[in-house]
Amino acid sequence: MAPAVPRSGDAIFANVERVNAELFTLTYGAIVRQLLTDLEEVEEVNKQLDQMGYNIGIRLIDEFLAKSNVTRCVDFRETAEVIAKVGFKMFLGVTASVTNWDTEGTCCSLILDDNPLVDFVELPDTCQGLYYCNILSGVVRGALEMVSMKTKVTWVRDMLRGDDAFELQVKLLKQVPEEYPYKDDE
């Protein structure tokens, strides 16, 4: 059987079932609003959003690997490219670009052209510390952790806070070698 060829993000997105982005946007807004009402502290909400994103990420990676047929990434550069071009396109329908590589190749920035989570949204003065899209940083962190990469993902620029783009910084902390759950000699 011929080896599966990795598919481009557009091709996969055209093949998956899609829903209206507005339902997605409004549901996310409802989630953030519920969190703010329950937790009241902006820092807590940020943490909770990141945790929710992490929970999504650890499950999302399975679907991503199944649908996209990507081969094992040789290095972190390739990983970042795959996330930006295939991953974001497949789930959110938008592409991201990868920039700002540091000298060792362990830290880069993903710039999102378009962010369906923030349509119609404006941050009021009382919530200026809120990273509204923090769920995305959790998703990336969770997904990468399931493929043995411990990362730190933070928002560098956020349009809701007045910057001119959405920039997510992904820093590779370490590669965790895969552990077998069973010992060989048992």
Q: How far is residue 41's CA from residue 150's CA, in Å, rounded to a whole number?
A: 27
Site size with other proteins, rule: CB under 8 A = 50
What would you measure as the largest C-alpha separation in the chain, in angstroms? 61
Note whether 65 binds other proteins by CB under 8 A: no
| Pick 78 or 163: Cβ nearer other proteins | 163
Among 70, 73, 93, 146, binds other proteins (CB under 8 A): 93
Verify binding: residue 133, other proteins, rule CB under 8 A: no
- Our CA dihedral for 46, 52, 58, 59, rounded to 10 degrees, sits at -150
Tell me which of 104, 122, 185, 186 binds other proteins, using CB under 8 A. Answer: 122
Separation between Cα atoms, residue 67 and residue 6, nearest integer Å? 9
Q: Binder to other proteins among 1, 2, 5, 23 (CB under 8 A)?
A: 23
Q: How far apart are CA 82 and CA 108, in angstroms?
A: 13
- Decide if residue 178 touches other proteins (CB under 8 A): no
Ramachandran angles phi, psi of 136, nearest 5° = -65, -35
180 near other proteins, judged by CB under 8 A: no
C-alpha to C-alpha distances, 50 to 24, 66, 161, nearest whole angstrom: 18, 24, 18
Q: What is the 3-state secondary structure (H, E, C) of 43-83?
A: HHHHHHHHHHHHHHHHHHHHHHHHHHCCCCCCCHHHHHHHH
The answer to the question of residue 25 lying near other proteins (CB under 8 A) is yes
30 binds other proteins (CB under 8 A): yes
User: Is 131 among the residues that bind other proteins (CB under 8 A)?
Assistant: no
Least CB distance to other proteins at residue 156 (A): 16
* CA-to-CA dists, residue 118 to 29, 123, 149, 183, angstroms: 8, 10, 28, 47
Rounded least distance, CB 151 to other proteins, Å: 19
Which of residues 16, 65, 173, 176 is near other proteins by CB under 8 A?
16
Work out whether 29 is an interface residue with other proteins (CB under 8 A). Answer: yes
Residue ranges in contact with other proteins by CB under 8 A: 13, 16-38, 40, 48, 52, 55-56, 59-60, 63, 90-93, 116, 119-127, 130, 135, 162, 164
